[in-house]
A and B are shown apart, each in its own frame.
Chain A
Amino acid sequence: MTNAELRDHSTATQARVDHLVVADMVTPGARVLDVGCGDGALLTLLTERKNVDARGIELSREGVAECVTRGHAVIQGDADTDLIDYPTDCFDYVILSQTLQATRNPRKVLEQMLRIGRHAIVSFPNFGHWRVRSSLFFNGRMPVTANLRHAWYDTPNIHFCTIRDFVALVEEIPAKAEKAVALNASGEEIGFNAPWWFWNIMGEQAVFLLRRV
């Protein structure tokens, strides 16, 4: 299914747009690990539409219970500490959906993802988005937006980055970005030909498909 088809299809089940972008990057029948899989919505999407062999890791017991009820194989665990226990190359894709900014050591998590999977797919909120910039510029306070709901002192999001920051980390690891998608505030993809600086201002979130070099 193309992304457009997936999106049409999604209106019925109301899949999240970033989930659809992630799903579009996964080849059918692949072995997939979703790190921080929450209630299993992405696992369900991937299983139903891409027929993948899906596994998950989730920090909250409630999330795991929900996933197990949906029939997914999910273990209670932590991206920072538990990826190390997976064998090398045991997945085709390791997905980190909206979780990177909540990890203690994002670089190590990314490196582990690229070790246990042939590809890594990472989606994250862009701290370089114009709304964030203007909030800080005009209010002089840490931004609280629809996407970034927590006050600075009780946020689980301890490692925010911009799209440019993320690209720099990918180069440093090093890994190769095979595909990147930025979504604007309406959840629409920003044109592929736009330059990085434009993405970094207009993209509210980004999804990267990475592979080892």
Chain B
Amino acid sequence: MPSKSAKAISEAETPHSAVVRFGMDQPLLLDAGQFFAPLQVAYQTYGALNADRTNAILICHALTGDQHVANVHPVTAKPGWWENMIGPGQLIDTNRYFVICSNVLGACMGTSGPSSVNPETGKPYGLDFPVVTIGDMVKAQAMLVEHLGISQLLSVVGGSMGGMQVLDWAARYPDRVFSAMPIATGAKHSAQNIAFDEVGRQAVMADPDWRGGRYLEEGTRPVKGLGVARMAAHITYLSEQALQRKFGRELQNREARTFSFDADFQVESYLRHQGSTFVERFDANSYLYLTRAMNYFDLAADHGGRLANAFAGSKTRFCIISFTSDWLFPTSDSRAIVHALNAAGAPVSFVEIESDKGHDAFLLDEPAFFATMRGFLESAATARGV
């Protein structure tokens, strides 16, 4: 039986997903100024498109997520990352809606990324893969949505990096987005966010097995570096309260301190586990590219320095949601988006959900969070006649 990491590597080229390939005749113009082709986009769909093609909802995944939003993951065999939200009879009811989720550009689960094979060399791209942006991811998704014959999405939904894509969708294609739910996100990355990402990237690049990004060719894997990157990042997804509640100073399967550098504390053991399971399924170079894309994201800067300009004249209905204990994308980030949408005159709703679970709260079944989303989606669907 192939190992999880071998499975993960094969997902990059031949994913357990539907795939659409855009050839040399349909190049994607990247923000970096170059054309990218050929492009492969891997995606999952759930439910059925209605006759009017008005019931499609696009889900945008976060940094370490992927298109397997509501099905068992082909590598980890774990449930989909929003399976508590999407499915028959769920909040996003797949008996009623047609749900699409695609792997983002630069990732490693079947959409073109640094671990894909470069057709010019026959070898994995590695660092020859162009640096992509959130906008580039959205343009690739728009190609997929068009390919599926959908001219307007009922809703575009996503948290964290997925929320950035939602904002970019609404700004870039206002007529193609009937409603938008950017969750636990911001219109730009803060200095602190960039700083944490830089720690992660440096950890990856400091691993001798990274081999200047050519590890796939050389048969090595920078698991130590990527594991450390994941451990550091994972802390930012939680909150001090959540860590304290979950672990406190409890020791891991032992009565007393060992006076060593073993994982004495439960929190250490937990983080090591997070690191080691992550490296089995995720490509280190993709981690570099996707964090870079988030760092570069600054929607106001793309619109003359004024965020409201990004949404001028927008008819899209927005529902912005933040969480009280999220310090990666604090409520002030969401409020900045709300102010810009108000200034642009766009219809916007906003709630801050009480939760001590930090940034990761957006992945959890917080009743108030789900209730707000359900109400918003229901009213959007009614207004759209779905």
Q: Which parts of A65-98 form the interface with B (CB within 8 Å)?
A: 65-77, 85-87, 90
Chain B 30-68 interface 0/1 with A at a Cβ cutoff of 8 Å (1 = within):
000000000000000000000000000000000000000
B104 to chain A, nearest CB (A): 28
A78 to chain B, nearest CB (A): 11
Contacting pair B353 A68 (CB below 8 A): no
Which one, B335, B353, B354, B378, contacts A69 given CB within 8 A?
B378
Q: How large is the interface on B (under 10, 10 to 19, 20 to 34, 35 or more residues)?
A: 20 to 34
CA distance A70 to B351 in the complex (A): 15
Contacting pair B351 A64 (CB below 8 A): yes
For A77, the chain B residues whose CB sits under 8 A away are 350
A61 at the interface (CB under 8 A from B): yes
B280 to chain A, nearest CB (A): 39
A211 at the interface (CB under 8 A from B): no
For A66, the chain B residues whose CB sits under 8 A away are 375
A55 at the interface (CB under 8 A from B): yes
Contacting pair B382 A65 (CB below 8 A): no
Q: Which parts of B335-386 form the interface with A (CB within 8 Å)?
A: 335, 338-339, 342-343, 345, 347-354, 368, 371-372, 374-376, 378-379, 382-383
26 contacts between A and B (CB under 8 A): A61-B352, A64-B350, A65-B368, A65-B371, A66-B375, A68-B349, A68-B351, A68-B372, A68-B379, A69-B375, A69-B376, A69-B379, A72-B349, A73-B318, A73-B347, A73-B348, A74-B349, A75-B320, A75-B338, A75-B350, A76-B350, A76-B352, A85-B338, A85-B342, A86-B343, A87-B343
Binding site for A on B (CB under 8 A): 317-320, 335, 338-339, 342-343, 345, 347-354, 368, 371-372, 374-376, 378-379, 382-383
19 additional A-B pairs beyond A65-B372, A85-B335, A90-B343, beta carbons within 8 Å, are A55-B347, A61-B352, A61-B368, A64-B350, A64-B351, A69-B374, A69-B379, A71-B383, A72-B349, A73-B348, A73-B349, A75-B338, A76-B352, A85-B338, A85-B339, A85-B342, A86-B343, A87-B342, A87-B343
